[in-house]
Amino acid sequence: MALGSVFEILKIGVGPSSSHTLGPAQAGLHFRGLRPCWDGEQDLRLKVSLYGSLALTGKGHLTDVAVTAGLGGYDPEKTPGSPLRLFHETEERGFLTFPREARVSFSPSHDIVYDTEREDLLHPNTLRIDLFSQGTLIESGEYLSVGGGVLEGNRICLSSSRRGSAGLASMGEVMAVCEREEEDLVAFILEHERLVAGKEPFQVYARLQRLWEIMQESIHRGVSTRGVLPGELKLVRKAPELMSRFHKKIVEWKILSQVITLGSIYAIAVAEENASGARLVTAPTCGSAGVVPAVLKILEDRFHYSQERILQALLIAGLIGALVKHNASISGAEIGCQGEVGTASAMAAAAASFLLGGTLSQIESAAETALEHHLGLTCDPVKGLVQIPCIERNAVGAVTALNAANLSLLTSGKHRISFDTVVETMQQVGRDMNRKYKETALGGLATLYRSVGEDDPLGSA
């Protein structure tokens, strides 16, 4: 299998977890669009079964909301706003309307089953949708949400083309081609997109432009929306207050640079938007969606790069994510958070190094440094919500990315461990990692969590 498109990594999605929300939403949307086998059928009823990590953390990750919304016709790409309203409406009235006005009984609280026992799973994020008529099964689909919102299934594969760019599969090979052809990384990726996705450069830029707008919107909404995040932790959003304190204390920031502080606030803002189920861009997943926009935005604020240069940085971030997805995984349920925030940090580091004038080797070195220091990072979200440790972790991932980019620029770019080696290592570590630490909420912070700071909504998690 060769390297896929960068747009398998950078997608418009809804939070809080791409594999737990965007994938299931698309599964629902796909299912309602199947050939209308329900034509003329009576007494239609739907059942959704969630397995593996989707069963263990699906409630906290809003998988029930996402799959219901998808079944109800909510398209994360096209439908503005949060899918929560559609979910509550469906629960209240007890049915969904499928195409051709078909009325299908469905009450999320009764008809979504969390099956933690099933063992014959091809992937830890599996869901099944069954449609019954008068009690008889007439249609079913099993979907695997394989990370970053990409969906595969026993009857479908919604992922975009898997054809490769001349069989390239590693950063080493990409660098070798760039050096041999004397081609810069941006030109290489544009050609790659033409080959794997049939997209001409103007289409790639148009798509990047849209993604960049949504990334910036999620920062803007995140730093201006106050309130409490959904879920039993009752976590108060802190990005707006941090921003207001940042502005008040701006002259006092003597040790930490403004770039690092503000970059962290931007990352928290997007991660909080994600935790509220809002629309954003997977980079590479929803849970880690704050890192890349935060780093790009803070560098844009500070250095006023042209729009084209920002979009090119996004393209490079996408390539790094695509390489990790191809050679390891970007799914917390498969390899822990190293695959999500670790990958996001590597994507942002490469993009930042590029923006700051890094050479090909320095860009690769930045990605390597950021990913290397996330190796072994577990996924153990408290109460199955994408809030603790996820929100702060986006800020730390963004700062690591900025640091890795800075370090790359101070060196020749030559280093002993390549990005490809770190990706391979991450895959190995992920394979060896205990299942408890792979988005199951069965170990780590998820089980040892004792709240000590609920009196201070702005205390760190």
Between 96 and 391, name the residue whose CB sits nearer to ligand SF4: 391
Quick check: 288 binds ligand SF4 (CB under 6 A)? Answer: yes
Residue number with CB closer to ligand SF4 (326 or 393): 393
17 in contact with ligand SF4 (CB under 6 A): yes
Q: Which is nearer to ligand SF4, 223 or 337 (CB)?
A: 337
Q: How far is the CB of 313 from ligand SF4 (least distance, A)?
A: 22
Q: How far apart are CA 98 and CA 110, in angstroms?
A: 19
Q: Considering only 110-118, 120-128, 197-205, 381-389, which stretch makes contact with ligand SF4 by CB under 6 A?
A: 381-389
Decide: residue 41, CB within 10 A, 0-12 exposed, 13-18 middle, 19+ buried: middle
Tell the residue number behind the tokens 């979504």, with chain if given: 112
DSSP 435: G
Residue appearing with tokens 């408890």 = 436
Size (the chain), residues: 461
Find the part of the chain contacting ligand SF4 (CB under 6 A) among 192-200, 219-227, 257-265, 384-392: 384-392
Phi, psi of 39 (to 5 degrees): -55, 125
Q: Which of 439, 441, 442, 446 binds ligand SF4 (CB under 6 A)?
A: 439
Closest CA to 126 of 282, 9, 20: 20
Min CB(159)–ligand SF4 separation in Å? 20
Q: What letter would DSSP give residue 459?
A: S
Q: How far is the CB of 379 from ligand SF4 (least distance, A)?
A: 3
- Pairing outcome for strands 112-115 and 136-147: unpaired
Q: Is 62 or 360 the residue whose CB approaches ligand SF4 more closely? A: 62
The count of residues interacting with ligand SF4 (CB under 6 A) is 14
Residue 133 or 425 having the CB closest to ligand SF4: 425
**Packed helices 341-355 and 291-303: angle between N→C axes, nearest 10 degrees:** 20
Q: Is 382 in the site for ligand SF4 (CB under 6 A)?
A: no
* Contact flag: residue 340 with ligand SF4 (CB under 6 A): yes
Among 29, 195, 204, 390, binds ligand SF4 (CB under 6 A): 390
Q: d(Cα 143, Cα 455) in Å, to the nearest integer?
A: 42
- C-alpha–C-alpha distance, residues 317 and 7, integer Å: 11
Q: Which of 381, 400, 419, 440 binds ligand SF4 (CB under 6 A)?
A: 381
Residue 243 Cα distances to 30, 42, 64, 255, 256, angstroms? 40, 55, 32, 18, 15
Helices (H) and strands (E) in the chain, counts: 18, 9
Smallest distance, ligand SF4 to C-beta of residue 63, A: 12
At residue 329, φ and ψ (nearest 5 deg) are -165, 155
Residue 220 CB contacts under 8 Å (≥ 6 apart), including other chains: none
Instruction: Give the shortest CB-73-to-ligand SF4 separation in angstroms.
Output: 27
| 216 C-beta neighbours (distance < 10 Å), count | 18
Alpha-helical regions (H) of 238-285 = 239-248, 258-275
Question: Contacting ligand SF4 (CB under 6 A), which of 15, 28, 52, 287?
Answer: 287
Q: Is 268 in the site for ligand SF4 (CB under 6 A)?
A: no
* Nearer of residues 103 and 431 to ligand SF4, judged by Cβ: 431
**What is the distance between the alpha carbons of residues 263 and 52, in angstroms, rounded to a whole number?**
35
Shortest distance (Å) from residue 386 CB to ligand SF4: 5
Near ligand SF4 by CB under 6 A: residue from 186, 379, 401, 423: 379
Rounded Cα distance, 3 and 23, in Å: 20
- Residue from 332, 358, 430, 444 in contact with ligand SF4 (CB under 6 A): 332
Type of residue at 405: A
Q: Which of 131, 278, 386, 409 binds ligand SF4 (CB under 6 A)?
A: 386
Spatial separation of the C-alpha atoms in residues 127 and 48, rounded to whole Å? 7
3-class secondary-structure state, position 13: strand
**Helix/strand/coil for 3:** coil
Q: How far is the CB of 131 from ligand SF4 (least distance, A)?
A: 30
> Cβ of residue 280: shortest distance to ligand SF4, in angstroms?
13
Binding of ligand SF4 by 291 (CB under 6 A): no
Stretch that binds ligand SF4, among 98-106, 224-232, 382-390, 418-426 (CB under 6 A): 382-390
**Minimum CB distance to ligand SF4 smaller for 358 or for 384:** 384
Kindly list the distances between the CA atom of residue 384 and the CA atoms of 127, 361, 450, in Å, as whole numbers in the listed order. Answer: 17, 39, 15
CA quadruple 422, 327, 187, 280: dihedral sign: negative
Q: Nearest approach, Cβ of 38 to ligand SF4 (angstroms)? A: 35
CB of 344 to ligand SF4, least distance (A): 9
Rounded Cα distance, 7 and 207, in Å: 9
Q: Of 167-175, 307-315, 361-369, 385-393, which segment contacts ligand SF4 by CB under 6 A?
A: 385-393
Q: Does the protein bind ligand SF4 through residue 334 (CB under 6 A)?
A: no
Binding site for ligand SF4 (CB under 6 A): 17, 287-288, 332, 337, 340-341, 379, 381, 386, 389-390, 393, 439
